[in-house]
Structure 1
Amino acid sequence: MSEQAADSGSIEARMAEAWRLQTGGETEAAMALYRAVLEAAGMAGHAGAQLGLGQCHMERGEAEQALHHLRLARELAPQSGAIAHLVDSLSGTTTERAPDDYLRWVFDGHAASFDRHLAALKYRGPWMIQALAKRAWQPDGRRTILDLGCGTGLNGPLFRPYARGIDGIDIAPAMLQQAAKRQYNGRPAYDRLAEMEIHTFLEQVPARVYDAMLSTDVFIYIGRLERFFAQAARVLSPGGEVLATIERGSPEEPVRLMPSGRYRQSDAYIAGLAAQHGFSIADTLEAPLRVEQGREEPGRAYRLVLGA
C-alpha cells in the first residue's frame, strides 16, 4: 500500500470515528479528531472536517466559530447544498427551502440513533398532532393517510387506529429502513413506503387520493409552503385534513431560516395560505416542540380541514 493510500485510509477512519463521537454527543473528542484530519490533509484541506467542526461549534452555540469553519468548507466543496444551507442559516439569509442533499445528509447520518436523539430533546411533534386527532376523529380505521417526511415512523403506530391505509414518504433512505421496522399490534405500521422528495411525490399523485396528511417536523425544512398547500388541496378528498406542526416565528416575518438550519413560519402565514387554498383552521395546539440547548422551541400544531 502506498503512503498516500495509507494516509487516505487513516483520514477516512478518523472521519468515521469523529462522526460517531459527534452523533453520540462527545463533541470535544469529535473536534479533536476533525482537527487531526485537517492537520493530516495539509494545504489541500478537508471539507468534511471543516464541516464537522462547524457543526460542533453550532451544537455548542458558538455561531461565529461555526460560520468560520463552514465558509472554509464551502470554499472546498462549493457544489454542496448542505454546506451552503448551513452558511445561509448562520449568516441570516432566508432561502426558499432546505436542499435535498442537506436533508439526506442530516437524517441518514442520524437514522440509527434518531429516536434516542428525539427522546433526549423531549420532542413532541407526533403526540401534538395525535392530540388534535383524538379531539375530532374516531378510531374507526376508515382513513387513507399520507405521512409526509415520515422519518423513522413515529407517526405510524399513533395513527394506525384511524387508518384503512397509511403511506409514508421520506427523502432519506436510511430513515425509511427504520420506518419499515415500525410495528402496530404485530403488523407493519405502514402499508407503503416511498423514497421521494415531498413535492415531487404529491405532484405525481392523482387527485382526491388521501383523507389526511400528517406533517411533523416537515414544514421546518420546507420553508416556503405555497407549493405544498396547492398540492395538498388537490390530493386530499373533500373534507380532507392536514395535521401539521411548525416552529412558531415572529408575526413580522412570514418565514425565517434560523441558525439551527430549520425554518420558522408565522401563524399569520399559515392562516393566509390555508384560506387561500380552501382550508379552514379547525383546531390548534400550542406547546414546545423540543428542548434544545436548555431552551424550549415554540411550536404549534394545526388541524386544517379542506372545504370546511
Structure 2
Amino acid sequence: MNSNMQSAQDLLQLAWQAQAAGQLDRAIEIYRKTLGLQETAPAWLGLGQCQLERKDTQAALAAFRQALALMPQSGAIRHMVDMLDGSRVPDRAPDDYVVWVFDGHAESFEAHLAALNYRGPQMVAGLIEGIWDRDGSRAILDLGCGTGLNAPVFKPYAARLDGVDLAPRMLQQSARRGAYDHLYKAEAHAFLRRPPCRYDAVLATDVFIYIGQLDEIFFISDQYLNKNGELLFTIELAEGAQPVELRSSGRFRQTDDYIRNLAERAGFVVVVTHDEALRIENGTPESGRAYRLVRR
C-alpha cells in the first residue's frame, strides 16, 4: 500500500469521527483533503452527507454522483442520487440502503425516535383500542419490526407475534425484548410472498415510507392474511399531484387517494384512519396518517 493510500484511509477515519461528532465544517475539510489524495466512493459519500446536513443539496447531489460513478453497483448511493435529483421515483428504497440507514444506528435508534417524539405505534394502537379484545387470540405480524417498538403495545392481543426486518442489528435489538415468538431476517415483499402462516393482522409502522409503490403488498394479501384479516399501517402523507413522492430525506410519501384507490382495487375496506404528527423533524411536525384496513 503506497503512502498516499494509507494517508487517505487515515484521513477518512478522522473525517468519519468528525462527522459523527457533528463537526461538519471540520469533516468537510478532511473529506476534501482525503479526496485530494485518493478519490473513493466512501469519501465522496461522506462529503455529500455532510453537505446535505448543511442543507446544501446541490453540493450533496454532486458528491453523491461522484460516489455513484466510482461505485455504480451500489443501490444505496443510487437512492441518494434519486432523492435529490428528482428525475426518478423508484418503487422502493434498495435493500442495501435500508440496512445502511438502520444497522448503523441500531443501538441508539429508540433514543433517537424518542427525541423526535415518534408516534407510530401509538397511532396504530389507537385504531384498535376498545375494538380488539386483549385475549391473546390473534396471529400478528410486525412487518419491518425494527427494534420491536410495537411488541409491548400489541403483545396482549397476540397468540403469535412474529417480526420481520431486513437489518440484522435491528433484529438483535428486537430479540432482546423477548416478546416475539419468531423473528425473521427478510425483505418485506419476499417474506409476504411465502409467509410461515397466515396472519389475522399485519402491522407496518414507518415501513411504507421506505416502500413507495404498495401495489404488490396490497394485491398479494390473500397469501399472508386470513379472511377478514387486517392491515394496519402509517404513512407520511403527501398532498401534491403525484400519488407517490420521494423526498430529500430518502423516504416516500403517499397520498390518501392513492391508498384508498389501491385498497378498493385490492379488496380492502378502509375502516378508520387517524391523523397526527408522526414525528417532529428539524422542529417541524411530519404529517402522518394511520390506517386500519380489513380484507373483504
TM-score class, shorter: over 0.9
Say whether the 8 Å CA contact 1:233–1:277 is kept in structure 2: no
CA RMSD after TM alignment: 2.0
**SS state at 1:241 partner:** strand
Contact residue 143 and residue 165 of structure 2 kept, 8 A = yes
Give distance in 2, aligned partners of 1:29 and 1:179.
Answer: 36
- TM-score of the superposition, structure 1-length normalised? 0.89
Aligned partner of 1:13 in structure 2 is 13
Deviation at residue 157 of structure 1 after TM alignment:
1.0
SS in 1 for 2:206: coil
From 62, 72, 81, the counterpart of 2:56 = 62
Instruction: Encode CA deviations 1:124-155: one digit per residue, 9 max, x unaligned.
Output: 11111011121421211111110111111101
Task: Please list the CA deviations of residues 87-122 of structure 1 after superposition, one character each: whole Å capped at 9, or x if unmatched.
Answer: 111111211111111111111111111111111211
Bigger helix fraction: 1
Post-superposition offset of 1:18: 4.3
Q: Say if 2:291 is the partner of 1:302.
A: yes
Instruction: Report if aligned partners of 2:143, 2:207 keep a CA contact under 8 Å in 1.
Output: yes
Q: Which runs of 5+ in 1 are unaligned?
A: 183-187
1:238: Cα distance to partner?
0.9
How many Å separate the matches in 2 of 1:176 and 1:18? 28
The amino acid of 2:288's aligned partner reads G
By how many angstroms is 1:17 displaced? 2.2
* Alpha-carbon shift at residue 60 of structure 1 (Å): 2.9
Runs in 1 of length 4+ with deviation above 2 angstroms? 1-9, 11-21, 25-39, 56-62, 231-234
Q: Which position in structure 1 is the counterpart of 2:209?
A: 220
- Structure 1 residues 161, 225: CA separation in 2 closer, same or farther (over 3 Å shift)? same
In structure 2, give the amino acid aligned to 1:150.
C
> Does residue 1:150 correspond to 2:145, yes or no?
yes
- Deviation of the 1:53 alpha carbon: 2.0
Task: Indicate how the Cα distance of structure 1 residues 16 and 180 shifts in structure 2: closer, same or farther if over 3 A, else same.
Answer: farther
State the match for 2:79 in structure 1.
Answer: 85
Give, in whole Å, the separation in 2 of the partners of 1:104 and 1:215: 17
1:109-148 aligned within 5 A: 109-148=104-143
Q: Is the 8 A contact 1:14 1:37 kept in 2?
A: no
Aligned to 1:185: none
Distance across 1 between alignment mates of 2:49 and 2:84: 11
3-state SS, counterpart of residue 136 of structure 1: coil
Q: Does 1:246 align with 2:240?
A: no
**Structure 2 letter corresponding to 1:267:** D
**Is the Cα contact below 8 Å between 1:251 and 1:268 reproduced in 2?**
no
Do residues 38 (structure 1) and 32 (structure 2) align?
no
Q: Secondary structure at the match of 2:136?
A: coil
The structural deviation recorded for 1:259 is: 1.0
Unaligned runs of 5+ in 2: none
Range 44-53 or range 109-118, more displaced:
44-53
Percent sequence identity over aligned pairs: 50
Shift of 1:251: 5.0
Q: What's the offset of the Cα at 1:34?
A: 3.0
In the alignment of these two chains, the number of paired residues is 295
